[in-house]
Amino acid sequence: MVRELAEYDPDRAAHVLHWLIREGLLRYVHLLRERARRQYELAVLVWAPQAPYAEKGSKPPDLPKILKG
């Protein structure tokens, strides 16, 4: 988790270790949301051009739970 928060930078990892646990967890949730948002955007970009030619029941990708609330 520290590596992820420090963006795999060893110098920054030492700094991250001094963060409060709450701050680290909030940052981690932020990173998870950003990753989910990017994945969702990509899924919509892949779905959109195919939608007019797909079956009539073709639905857009579902919004990830982490982005709903």
Q: How confident is the model at residue 69 (pLDDT cuts 50, 70, 90)?
A: confident
Structural domain boundaries, residue 8: 2-68
pTM: 0.84
Q: Report the distance separating Cα 29 and Cα 25, nearest Å.
A: 6
Given this model, what pLDDT does residue 57 score?
Answer: 78
Under 8 Å CB-to-CB from 51, ≥6 apart: which residues? 58, 60
Position 33 scores a pLDDT of 97
Quote the number of domains for the chain.
1
Q: What is the pLDDT of residues 16-67, one digit of tens each?
A: 999 999 999 999 999 999 999 999 999 999 999 998 898 887 899 999 999 9
Helix (H, G, I), strand (E, B) or coil at 9: coil
